[in-house]
């Protein structure tokens, strides 16, 4: 039997990044037209994030959202929440802040300057030049406004600019909105890993998605056209 040939090695400048990219992503501010992402600062953001995700009515600019089921609309597929107290949310975020291979961002609405959600770089593996976007949630006031689209675009663009070769997106296989969002954002579905994790004491089947560096030019152009109506 003839064995298949291995793929060509990556360029030396790309391989060198395996030694220079930090395990914990370096803090950065990412600015778009709809949203601004800043590293999560609990002293600044905690009370606001609690208030926009605990089910109470909320108004942001000309948008108003009535009282809602926070478990169903925000937290059902997340590793934590809903939170009965600000202290409980604080403990949840401390885990993200302390992750050796992750960096949480607060997502701010650009017009109002108000926090509307959180997104993380996580599961960072510089040795293999791959990183994941995850633990993403938005207040219902920001859902379906383009906030997630632009935040994701900014984060993926930043990751590939740093030299990563693969950006991953994983979610509960039952989380249809997240799976649909991943596809609309240009991620490719790779399959389902059964009983991949235990979340909130329940086994979770995980749907895997990814964008590769060689795909980013096409994906970026589609997202920029969608976001900014570029021809």
Q: Which of 120, 150, 118, 142 has the alpha carbon at shortest distance from 133?
A: 120
Q: Running DSSP on this structure, what letter comes out for residue 73?
A: I
* Residue 142 half-sphere exposure toward CB, CA atoms < 13 A: 28
Low-confidence ranges of the chain (pLDDT < 70): 230-231
Check residue 230 and give its pLDDT. 56
Show me where the domains of the chain are located. 12-228
Q: Compute the chain's Rg from CA coordinates.
A: 18
Nearest-10 crossing angle of helices 86-98, 42-51: 130
Check residue 231 and give its pLDDT. 46
Check residue 229 and give its pLDDT. 85
The correct answer on CATH 3.40.630.30 for the domain covering 12-228 is yes
Check residue 93 and give its pLDDT. 98
**How big is the CA angle at 185 (ends 107 and 183), to the nearest 5 degrees?**
130
Q: What is the pLDDT of residues 173-213, one digit of tens each?
A: 999 999 999 999 999 999 999 999 999 999 999 999 999 99
Q: Running DSSP on this structure, what letter comes out for residue 178?
A: H
Pairwise CA distance, residues 125 & 105, whole Å: 19
């Amino acid at each position: 039997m003839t064995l298949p040939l291995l793929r060509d090695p990556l360029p030396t400048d790309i391989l060198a990044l395996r030694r220079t990219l930090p395990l914990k992503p370096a803090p950065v501010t990412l600015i778009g037209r709809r949203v601004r992402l800043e590293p999560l600062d609990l002293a600044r953001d905690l009370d606001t994030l609690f208030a926009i995700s605990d089910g109470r009515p909320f108004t942001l600019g000309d948008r108003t959202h009535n009282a809602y089921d926070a478990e169903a609309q925000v937290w059902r597929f997340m590793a934590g929440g809903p939170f009965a107290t600000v202290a409980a949310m604080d403990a949840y975020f401390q885990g993200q802040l302390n992750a050796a291979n992750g960096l949480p961002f607060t997502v701010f609405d650009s017009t109002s300057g108000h926090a509307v959600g959180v997104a993380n770089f996580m599961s960072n593996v510089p040795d293999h030049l791959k990183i994941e976007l995850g633990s993403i949630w938005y207040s219902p006031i920001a859902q379906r406004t383009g906030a997630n689209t632009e935040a994701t675009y900014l984060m993926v663009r930043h990751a590939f600019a740093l030299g990563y070769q693969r950006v991953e997106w994983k979610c509960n296989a039952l989380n249809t909105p997240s799976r649909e969002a991943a596809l609309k954002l240009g991620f490719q579905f790779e399959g389902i890993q059964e009983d991949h994790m235990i979340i909130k004491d329940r086994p979770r089947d995980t749907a895997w998605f990814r964008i590769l560096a060689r795909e980013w030019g096409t994906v970026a152009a589609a997202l920029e056209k969608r976001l900014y109506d570029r021809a």
